[in-house]
A and B are shown apart, each in its own frame.
Chain A
Amino acid sequence: MSTDALWYLGRGSGVVTLVLFTASLVLGIGTRSGRPAPWLPRFAVTTLHRNASLLATVFLVLHVVLLLFDPYAQLTVVDTVLPFLAGYAPFWVGLGTLALDLLLALVVTSLLRQRIGHRTWRAVHWTAYAAWPISLVHALGSGSDAGTRWFLVLAGACAVAVAGALAWRLSASFSERDAVTPLEIHP
């Protein structure tokens, strides 16, 4: 593979990861609401959330491995684990490393959820709310496409989707459980 191809694939897989990450976060919030989607039952929303996350992981691994072989990025294996040590744009690339670490923690704890228990799993899963903005800032800061109009539109759309989901998450009518009408007590 030519270095150009590596470069384009590396960038492309990064963009796809961001989109999948956004979808996963929105679906995760949908899962947490306990409500079915208008066109999908609850278990399908949960399954879709899981599959989007696993697909995001695949693209993220692709993104990192491809750029590991890219001569310009000058990434080392250490940079994929420890943030802020990269030779090129250490801060912006470091944010990507941080997001990668968080995502791996999210995926591993979710796969081991039955073993580690709900409490631990949930504590780790909260970091998803940190991982998403970190990866967006990473994309804007170190991405070669950050200045292009199409990417800004895409990033804007992702931000709008997450902001909308968050607003819903924080609204009073978010959880189906809280919205359950109490049984009429007097017959």
Chain B
Amino acid sequence: MTARLHIDWTACDGRGLCVELLPEVLGRDPWGYPIPHTPGPIQVPENLIRHAEKAATLCPLLALRLQHPAHPPAAAA
């Protein structure tokens, strides 16, 4: 089971904490903003969810939301 990581791009300032905590998932673009290694929605594998949670808590701009598989995304509209 993977969790989905959302980045609020309007809040993100590219400080880089999330990239340190999730190097398996994220890298930094030339401007310092986090960029997933594989394009598309950011999926966090189960063994890294703890780190993703930590990244969401520590993000200085509160720009991360972790959507757990237990709470499926709301129906699209």
Contacts and interface: CB of A to CB of B under 8 A. Distances in A.
Do A and B interact directly, with beta carbons closer than 8 Å? yes
Interface of A: 31-32, 34, 36, 41-43, 46-47, 113-114, 117-118, 176-177, 180, 183
Contact of A177 (B15, B17, B58): B15
Interface string B47-58: 000000011011
B58 A47 contact: yes
Given A113-B62, A180-B32, A183-B30, A118 B11 contact: yes
A29 to B, nearest CB: 13
Chain B interface mostly? loop
B62 A118 contact: yes
Contacts of B54: 43
A177 B32 contact: yes
Interface of B: 11, 13-17, 20-21, 30-32, 54-55, 57-58, 60-62
Given A118-B11, A176-B15, A177-B14, A42 B20 contact: yes
Sorted from nearest, which 5 A-B pairs have the closest CB atoms?
A34-B15, A43-B17, A41-B20, A183-B30, A118-B62
24 contacts: A31-B60, A32-B60, A34-B60, A36-B20, A42-B15, A42-B16, A43-B17, A43-B20, A43-B55, A46-B58, A47-B58, A114-B57, A114-B62, A117-B62, A118-B61, A176-B15, A176-B16, A176-B32, A177-B15, A177-B32, A180-B14, A180-B31, A180-B32, A183-B31
Nearest to B8: A118
Contacts of B55: 43
B2 to A, nearest CB: 22
A46 B17 contact: yes
A42 B28 CA distance: 14
B64 to A, nearest CB: 10
From B31, B55, B61, residue with most partner A Cβ within 10 Å: B31
Contacts of A31: 60
Contacts of B31: 180, 183
Given A42-B20, A43-B20, A43-B54, A177 B60 contact: no
Nearest to A34: B15
A32 B60 CA distance: 8
A176 B13 CA distance: 11
